[in-house]
Amino acid sequence: MSGATLYAGSVGHVRYTTPHRKFAYRLWMLALDLDDLDGLARRSAVFRHNRPGLIGINDRDHGPRDGSPLRPWVEAALAENGLAAFGARIRFMTIPRILGYAFNPISFYFCADADGRLGAVLHQVKNTFGDQVGYLIPVTTASGPIRQRVAKAMHVSPLFDMRGQYDFTFTRLERRFRMSIRYGAESRRMTAVMALDAMPATDRALLGQLARMPLMTVKVIAAIHWEAIKTLARGARFHREPKDSHPTIVRGDAV
């Protein structure tokens, strides 16, 4: 789908290692043309780009996180990995800033060529320690579910060590967006599932989501910590954050 799109639904997590845990919560995300952030801000009374507002995108929350534009960062990652042709059209999907606060466990850059053919997805992953890594993975299928795999390169949760890989299975950005992220080493350790439905990101729709979940970004990070506390109380092992630096961009593989 083109234009500014709001995707609303739920995300669920299942922990398969002892202690077993399962939880879910509601959320919504925005999918935006990366070249139209300022245009959307001009057309909207609600959305802002790099300015304070009810709902917005601030460049310093993403990419190089220095306030510079996001497109050059994505283009450089694509070029360094032989995927430069897919920097023509970039759709950015993320949880926006809400009432000035942002936290995004995962955001996506859907990268397509001039003909609109999706050729790569850059998965921008953050943890609660302030770290970030980008998993850049080609798309080799013209239709149907997209399947990708990448080795874990950043400490995300203190309740897992650094072993293992991520297997992504997800749809394109259409009327429904579905994603499954399976994390495992020798066996499956955790699965996250996202189920979101699309609607135009009109001011009315944005204000509706704001009214339903005014503290959504705070809720996301609070839920992460609350579930970690409960899992630790049930006997999970705590793994200290590795001190070694991690790469900025990691290349994965289509499956």
Each residue's pLDDT tens digit in the chain (255 positions)? 568 999 999 999 999 999 998 989 999 999 999 999 999 999 999 999 999 999 999 999 999 999 999 999 999 999 999 999 999 999 999 999 999 999 999 999 999 999 999 999 999 999 988 899 999 999 999 889 999 999 999 988 888 888 999 999 999 999 999 999 999 988 899 999 999 999 999 999 999 999 999 999 988 888 888 888 888 888 888 777 776 666 799 999 999
Instruction: Give 87's contacts (C-beta < 8 A, 6+ positions apart).
Output: 71, 74, 75, 78, 79, 111
State the pTM of this model.
0.94
Instruction: Give 97's contacts (C-beta < 8 A, 6+ positions apart).
Output: 53, 55, 56, 57, 58, 61, 217
Q: Residue 148 CB: number of other CB atoms within 10 A?
A: 23
